[in-house]
Structure 1
Amino acid sequence: MKNPSEARQFLDGIRLAGTTDVYLYLTAKDFASSEQAIRVLVEALGSLDVRVWAMEGSRSYFSDEDGPAALYNALDEVVAFNRKFGRHFFGFHSDLEPQGGQGESKDLFHNGIAASKLSVEQISDRKRIVTDWLRIHESLQSRCNAGGLKYGGAIPSWADLYEGEPLFASFQGVTKPVVEFLLSFVDQYVIMAYNTNPSNVLGRVKGEIELANAMKPRPSVIVGLETHAGPGENVSYADTPSKMSKAAVVSDLAFLTNSLKGQASFGGISVHDWVGWRDLPGAPHELPALDYSVPPRETFRDRRRAP
């Protein structure tokens, strides 16, 4: 919002795309240094009937590093902002991923190893980091409920099936699949299904959507796509030559929406992120109107993780 031209481009893009939800990455310090700019942006999005979520997350918020205090502080700032100016933020979203390979964090999750192949020490490490993951989500849910906010989380697509095996956890005296705990903690569950082949995406989201369909209360499951440059070919549209355009993203959005529209828990598609979308070649696109009178073009495939 400090650059009027960029702000207008952002708001015009949000309007043209028919966006329903926007996730603003904000730390506690941002509220102290840029409160008025945040207020202007949130009010502008509200005038477009867009739900605004504050978002925070880092591997450093796990207890083996800095711990979640700064994350909780960010949430407290959102609650205080709403109380000061009226209800402008709809909810709070976290992006917490327990796997290794994120900066200099120690790999307590032991990436690439199925549960049945872990050593005794590795089992202990994974249990520790996964339990911490669940504890932070549970705390954020409780704090959001107390603060009058919806709670959502961006979750890796492997949470239901890791290296071909279900991922289990024991938490609060109960043992069950990790994905069932995670789904129970959120109002909105965004699957980071990042893949540029929509058929592969369907396979990645099958387990979560089917579980959520049967839940009461039922979380809204959002399918996440990646447009930011860097994650790699077939992961991000910005890195995949055959898909490097806004038109390709819009086509796949329509395919996925038509394929999933009959699923009770399906809540839409999330595009990460604004800069990635903005920088893709092509003019801004409006999502085409979808024909809900025809059957979905494709149903779920199997749950194997396609490359």
Structure 2
Amino acid sequence: MVNAVRSHQHTETDQLFTGAPDAGVTQLYLYTPPDCYIPQRPQLQTFISRATTSGLHVWALDGDRAYFVDAAGPTTFYRGIDNLIAYNAAVAPHEQFSGFQADNEPQDHADYRTFHNGIPDTNLSHTPGSGLWQPTQAQDREMLLRSGLSIHQKASQLLHAHGLRFGAAMPWWTEAYEGEELGVRFPEHGGGMRRQSVMKHMMGLVDEYVVMSYYTDPAEAVRRVEVQAAFASGMAGVGRPRVCAAVEVTPGVGRRVSYGDTEGKNSRAVVLRDVGVIEEGLSRYAAFGGVAVHHWSAWQSMPD
């Protein structure tokens, strides 16, 4: 069953609410820019109310590489969360968001080059002057990942204080970046700094961990989620996050990455068949929570 669809457009609501049951959708992730909550409040109220009536839970979603501290910083990101909280406080329960999903990915993009794409942790330079915003390359990545975790930690605290669930969309390769996991030192709840995978730190901050395991071979998609699902399944039941896999159906992303670009795979029937394979492959993990589809407009445009 497809349990989550990330929705980026508001113009296809009729098709969404009639088609969601056939796709097995139970959660919607609605892209909500930080300053949309006030001017679009009536539309949001109507949309969420219809979703609630249809048995769907709606999460707000926002993320940007610019939210990291080596770029513009998280101020705007936090403002969006504050605006979400204010929106929920101002509307009826059936018009409220269920949670918020962050989509902040650390890899280099556009003008941002402090992650150092393509270099495993052990090959990053420790020579002073090799870094771009810290003294060394190794410190560039360490501080970037640490700041990213701090941003998610604060978001988690803000949202949980107001009864909202918190999730994160994360790259699959954090456990196998150029053959190595991405390690980082980060404060534990009991104090101190422990170095371990960024994924393992993040699992303690979120209620839902969506792995962007985009690949049109379902066996490979399963492999990209197994480490995360296994780790979460070993956590205590009360604090255990739900771990989801994901499939990409948007055209223009890349062959073998997106079903929309892969010959012989570009149909809803094939996607649902492969989703079933992914679910079967991950169902042995107690933390596994389903498969997210990105995104609804592209899904709706696919042939049957």
Q: Normalised by the size of structure 1, how large is the TM-score?
A: 0.87
- Cα separation, 1, equivalents of 2:278 and 2:215: 12
Deviation at 1:262, TM superposition (A): 2.1
2:38 touches 2:87 (CA, 8 Å); kept in 1?
no
Match of 2:246 in 1: 224
| Per-residue CA distance 1:117-164 (angstroms, 9 max, x = gap) | 111221111112111111111111111111210000000001222111
Q: Which secondary structure does the structure 2 equivalent of 1:130 belong to?
A: helix
Relative distance call for 1:176 and 1:6 in structure 2 (3 A) is closer
| Per-residue CA distance 1:86-130 (angstroms, 9 max, x = gap) | 332110110000001x2x232211111111111122111111211
Match of 2:100 in 1: 92
Match of 1:145 in 2: 160
1:154 touches 1:190 (CA, 8 Å); kept in 2?
yes
Deviation at 1:264, TM superposition (A): 0.1
Match of 1:131 in 2: 146
1:28 touches 1:74 (CA, 8 Å); kept in 2?
yes
Match of 1:199 in 2: 219
Match of 1:296 in 2: none
Query: Which of 134-143 and 173-182 deviates more?
Result: 173-182
Deviation at 1:13, TM superposition (A): 1.8
Q: Which secondary structure does the structure 2 equivalent of 1:276 belong to?
A: helix
Superposed, which structure 2 residues align to 1:96-115 within 5 Å? 96-100=104-108, 102=109, 104-115=110-121
1:160 touches 1:167 (CA, 8 Å); kept in 2?
yes
Match of 1:215 in 2: 235
- Cα separation, 2, equivalents of 1:4 and 1:196: 27
Q: Which secondary structure does the structure 2 equivalent of 1:242 belong to?
A: coil
2:216 touches 2:259 (CA, 8 Å); kept in 1?
yes
Q: Which secondary structure does the structure 1 equivalent of 2:204 belong to?
A: helix
Match of 2:3 in 1: none
Unpaired stretches in structure 1, ≥5 consecutive residues: 283-307
- Cα separation, 1, equivalents of 2:92 and 2:146: 35
Relative distance call for 1:143 and 1:5 in structure 2 (3 A) is closer
- Cα separation, 2, equivalents of 1:221 and 1:119: 34
- Cα separation, 2, equivalents of 1:105 and 1:207: 31
| Per-residue CA distance 1:242-281 (angstroms, 9 max, x = gap) | 2111111010011111222221000000000011111111
Q: Which secondary structure does the structure 2 equivalent of 1:137 belong to?
A: helix
Match of 1:158 in 2: 173
- Cα separation, 1, equivalents of 2:163 and 2:63: 20
Q: Which secondary structure does the structure 1 equivalent of 2:255 belong to?
A: coil
- Cα separation, 2, equivalents of 1:167 and 1:220: 21
| Per-residue CA distance 1:49-89 (angstroms, 9 max, x = gap) | 11110000000111122111111111112111111113321
Q: Which secondary structure does the structure 2 equivalent of 1:224 belong to?
A: strand
Question: Are residue 36 (structure 1) and residue 36 (structure 2) matched?
Answer: no
Amino acid of the residue matched to residue 9 of structure 1? Q
17, 24, 28: which is aligned to 2:30?
24
| Per-residue CA distance 1:155-208 (angstroms, 9 max, x = gap) | 000122211112210112222221110111100000000100001011111110
Structure with more of its chain in helix, by fraction? 1
1:60 touches 1:105 (CA, 8 Å); kept in 2?
no
Deviation at 1:221, TM superposition (A): 0.1
Deviation at 1:17, TM superposition (A): 1.6
Amino acid of the residue matched to residue 253 of structure 2? P
- Cα separation, 2, equivalents of 1:18 and 1:225: 14
Query: Which of 55-64 and 11-20 deviates more?
Result: 11-20
Q: Which secondary structure does the structure 2 equivalent of 1:52 belong to?
A: strand
Question: Are residue 270 (structure 1) and residue 292 (structure 2) matched?
Answer: yes
- Cα separation, 1, equivalents of 2:113 and 2:212: 20
Relative distance call for 1:271 and 1:5 in structure 2 (3 A) is closer
Q: Which secondary structure does the structure 2 equivalent of 1:33 belong to?
A: coil
Q: Which secondary structure does the structure 2 equivalent of 1:30 belong to?
A: coil
Higher RCO (C-alpha 8 Å, min separation 6): 2
Question: Are residue 175 (structure 1) and residue 190 (structure 2) matched?
Answer: no
2:12 touches 2:297 (CA, 8 Å); kept in 1?
no
RMSD, matched Cα: 1.5
Amino acid of the residue matched to residue 251 of structure 2? A
- Cα separation, 2, equivalents of 1:199 and 1:4: 33
- Cα separation, 1, equivalents of 2:166 and 2:179: 29
Q: Which secondary structure does the structure 2 equivalent of 1:74 belong to?
A: helix
Amino acid of the residue matched to residue 181 of structure 1? H
Match of 2:268 in 1: 246
Query: Which of 218-227 and 70-79 deviates more?
Result: 70-79
1:223 touches 1:269 (CA, 8 Å); kept in 2?
yes
Q: Normalised by the size of structure 2, how large is the TM-score?
A: 0.88
